[in-house]
Structure 1
Amino acid sequence: MENKLKNPVWHSLCETHQKFVIDYDEVKFYDPKICPFGAFTNSSKTAAALNEYAKLTDKFFLVSENETPTFNNNYIKLDKKIDGCQMVLDNLVELEISEEIIQLTENHIDEIYNLIWLVMPGYYKKRTFDMGKYFGVFKDNQLVAITGQRMQTDNFVEVSAVVTHPNYTRRGLAKQLTHFVTQEIIKDGKHPMLHTTKGNPAIGLYEKLGYQLTRDMNWWYYHSTKI
């Protein structure tokens, strides 16, 4: 599993999410309707792959632990490099779940999309929902907090989309949802992991639940110069 965690997008597209893959020469991307993420095993091949993928979508990411992708300045622009980190569950710390947490369905897709884009705009697609299970908390008939599953292999599942509506923060919703989704992954016989940005205050929350920082994971954010 350790080798898979070093290149999680790549191995997800080789295994559980193979049905979503767009495969170039030593570079793989998700179908952009699902998720605008890609990964590679040979950085010298990324420039040509980015040029091709840019024909399908305007904005997209390559994810790598420590390799630097190449790209063609005539067609592709690097908007920013996001310094991220990976956390892997060590031992789940017990937590009382006081909220009613429900599994979200196709009927909730618009609500999920709108809440994630309110809190963390820029990467989530409506069909990202197809990557795994999503769970939520409702208050006054409104979806106010979400946590879901994103990248997956035969061994691990990524906890993702940990978002809470700004009017409902500091109530422990994210902590309970993250714990709940982590338990669901363990029940399925897989190992939970997640990604976040370096310095994110949420790292402390994840550590209290039993996650440990393991490695850097960088997100190279590009767009086509045709935009």
Structure 2
Amino acid sequence: MRDSNQAELNRPIWAALTTKQAHLGQGAGLARRFHPDVAPFAALASETPAAYQALHRLLGPQEQVALLSTEPIDPVAGLQTTYLGVIHQMIALNREAGSTDDRDVIRLGHADADDMLDLVQKTKPGPFGRRTGEMGNYIGIRDQGHLIAMAGERMRLDGYVEISAVCVDSDHRGKGLAGRLMRLLRKEIEQRGDTPFLHVFSDNLSAIQLYERLGFQLRRTFRLNRIGHAAPD
């Protein structure tokens, strides 16, 4: 695992869209975004007026995307920015040493898309679209045919893979299902030679505590912003 050089993690969306997940995105030199049904994220080559205008051209009149920033975004002509909160980027630098339990764990794919969407709509783990499952490996657990727990890989960049969409149906919480799925994903990511990381809102204390118990530690914080076309005057 490449622990010494973490520069890609300072700009994870841009790094993913310009390397391993370029095929899932749109845009070119100054601004890029994921296809709308894959993920709502976008990134800029640099925070310049020209880059913001390039992003403006990538957005439809009613579309919005999410950007990470380290500082508040200054007003940009033609765009409206809404600050959504502080994001913790957490990383697991030490290899998973605990045991993993793959009982009843299944691989999720295209045939499971409706059930995956239904679960995330119930549990609200974060953005998830019909094609989000194409971003990486997704695993889950079913009970009597119903998908009750899920976790998967979202952004992929050189040396790092993001764990995301960790969610458990409310009727099945407290059974350790989220931890089981995360440990399995983490082990698989590390076996491929990559380092797992994740993003979580700073006020989601229960999730942060779980991630800390699983060996993830805070690396840095970002501001999450929603950007779309400004309303006409």
Structure 1-normalised TM-score?
A: 0.90
Deviation (angstroms), 1:82: 2.1
| Alignment length (residue pairs) | 225
Match in the other structure for 2:48: 44
Per-residue deviation, residues 151-191 of structure 1 (Å, max 9, x unmatched): 00121000000011111111111111111111111122211
Q: Which moved more, 1:207-216 or 1:16-25?
A: 16-25
Match in the other structure for 2:9: 5
Deviation (angstroms), 1:24: 4.4
Per-residue deviation, residues 47-68 of structure 1 (Å, max 9, x unmatched): 313321221761210123x144
Deviation (angstroms), 1:112: 0.6
Q: Secondary structure at the match of 1:204?
A: helix
Match among 28, 32, 37 for residue 28 of structure 1:
32
Q: Which runs of 5+ in 2 are unaligned?
A: none
One-letter amino acid of the counterpart of residue 150, structure 1: R
Q: Is the 8 A contact 1:47 1:71 kept in 2?
A: no
Q: Is the 8 A contact 2:31 2:52 kept in 1?
A: no
Distance (whole Å) between structure 2 residues aligned to residue 58 and residue 122 of structure 1:
18
Q: Is the 8 A contact 1:47 1:69 kept in 2?
A: no
1:80 aligns with 2:83: yes
Distance (whole Å) between structure 2 residues aligned to residue 217 and residue 137 of structure 1:
32
1:189 aligns with 2:205: no
Alignment identity in percent? 27
Per-residue deviation, residues 6-53 of structure 1 (Å, max 9, x unmatched): 110111111110112322442221122211101123212443133212
Match in the other structure for 2:214: 209
Match among 170, 174, 180 for residue 178 of structure 2:
174
Structure 2-normalised TM-score?
A: 0.88
Distance 1:53 1:139, change over 3 A: same
Distance (whole Å) between structure 2 residues aligned to residue 134 and residue 59 of structure 1:
26
Distance (whole Å) between structure 2 residues aligned to residue 207 and residue 103 of structure 1:
25
Q: Secondary structure at the match of 2:68?
A: strand
Deviation (angstroms), 1:195: 0.6
One-letter amino acid of the counterpart of residue 176, structure 2: G
Q: Is the 8 A contact 1:13 1:28 kept in 2?
A: yes
Q: Secondary structure at the match of 2:131?
A: helix
Q: Is the 8 A contact 2:92 2:216 kept in 1?
A: yes
One-letter amino acid of the counterpart of residue 227, structure 2: Y
RMSD (CA atoms) = 2.2
Q: Secondary structure at the match of 1:43?
A: coil
Distance (whole Å) between structure 2 residues aligned to residue 192 and residue 142 of structure 1:
28
Q: Secondary structure at the match of 2:48?
A: helix
Per-residue deviation, residues 173-216 of structure 1 (Å, max 9, x unmatched): 11111111111111222111111011322111111111111100
One-letter amino acid of the counterpart of residue 82, structure 1: G
